[in-house]
Amino acid sequence: MDIFYRKEYPPDISFTSVPLSKKEEMELPKFMLGDNTDCPDDIFVIHTEFPRFVINLVNDEVEWFDDLEGDETELANEVSELIEMAGNFYDREMERYAE
C-alpha cells in the first residue's frame, strides 16, 4: 500500500503526490518536546511509542492516547518508569541547549 503526502494548497498551485513506501516513513524519536504559545508556562514531553502519551512536566498532568490494560501493579510500575524517563529526557535536552 502506498502512502501519499497530501496538503491543501490554493487552487492556482499545482502539486503532484509522491508515493512513499513503508521503508521511507518518518522514524520518530521515543520522546519529543512540545511547545504551544497558548500554554506559555507549560512544558510538554511527548512519548511516541506504546503507550503513547503527553505529560505536562509543570503539573505532572498526563494525557494518554492508548488504552492501558493488564495487571495494575505492572502498569503502575511501567507508567512510573515512563514518567521518570520523560523527566530525564527533558533534563538531558535542557543540558544540551545550555552547551
pLDDT tens column, 41-60: 999 999 999 999 999 999 99
pLDDT tens figures, 9-41: 455 555 555 565 655 678 899 999 999 999 999
C-alpha cell at 45: 514531553
Assess contact for 66 and 50: CB atoms under 8 A.
yes
Strand blocks (E) in the chain: 3-4, 19-20, 31-34, 44-47, 53-56, 61-64
